Amino acid sequence: MTSDTVAVVDDVRFAYRTDPVLTGVSLELCRGEFVALVGPNGSGKSTLLRILVGSLAPDAGTVRLFGEDPRSMHDRWRLGYVPQRPALAAGVAATVLDVVAAGRLARSGWHRWRGRDDRAVIDHALDAVGLADRRDTRITDLSGGQQQRAFIARAMAGEPELLVLDEPVAGVDAESQRAFRNSLLDLVQHHGASVLLVSHELGAVADALDRVVVLKQRVLFDGTPADLDRRGVSLGVHDTDLPLWLEGAGPSEVR
């Protein structure tokens, strides 16, 4: 593991009871990389993310985030994570602004709240997900998709060194997707952050990706978007072409 290595997954295995989900998965993320993790439903993508961020323990293998076990890492602000369906506590009276601003606390702490720089970052995160005009709306009054976008903005407001996103733009309009893409690029290019993105729709970010990792219980491909395109897989909506390609993947497709 080098100083530029952000995350290492080494020979990770996991099963739900007797059903294997991950069978010897290994991958590495480096500082400043924008990586997409793709695969058909049930391929283990969300499970791998949960193991990577420390909310689930692998049955075998090791995971390191910034050189530490993710389940006990000290500076949690270095990691931003938005699951596919974030939980929202019942009876929450917080506004969208309150939720997004809470992401800044992980970075700045209660002792320094809330300066001009903090407000600028929060405003930028709201703009990135298209919720600037709903900042004073109660989070419970938003649709499920809008709530998801608020949680994404909360993670971005912390300016994490690694941002992990599970299906973040499902059901989001094209204009909001473009703003979201630009904000992710800003994190990568100007803050040196790494992004790991799971999505069935990569059209908005295809030209910005450094690598694509194709998962189906194991890593079948890890390379550039151009290499994947040469194998006949588009980076737009891949609900159809990706599973078909995976069904035919043999040993030669690995790595």
Q: Note whether residue 94 is domain-resident.
A: no
The pLDDT tens digits along the chain (255 residues) read 556 899 999 999 999 988 999 999 999 999 999 999 988 888 899 999 999 999 999 999 999 999 999 999 988 889 999 887 666 655 667 899 999 998 888 776 655 556 788 889 899 889 888 899 999 999 988 887 788 888 888 988 888 999 999 987 666 667 777 777 888 888 888 788 999 999 877 877 888 899 999 999 999 999 998 888 887 776 765 555 565 555 555 434 444
Burial degree of 233 (CB within 10 A; 0-12, 13-18, 19+): buried
Q: Note whether residue 229 is domain-resident.
A: yes
* Residue-range definition of the domain harbouring residue 31: 5-86+160-253
Question: Are the CB atoms for 57 and 71 separated by under 8 Å?
Answer: yes
Q: Note whether residue 215 is domain-resident.
A: yes
- Please tell me the total count of domains within the chain: 1
Q: Note whether residue 126 is domain-resident.
A: no
Q: Could you tell me the pTM of the whole model?
A: 0.85
Q: Note whether residue 169 is domain-resident.
A: yes
Q: Note whether residue 59 is domain-resident.
A: yes
The total of other beta-carbon atoms located within 10 Å of residue 58's CB is: 20
Q: Note whether residue 206 is domain-resident.
A: yes
Question: Are the CB atoms for 45 and 166 separated by under 8 Å?
Answer: yes
Domain of 241, CATH number, reads: 3.40.50.300
Gyration radius of the chain's alpha carbons: 18
Q: Note whether residue 130 is domain-resident.
A: no
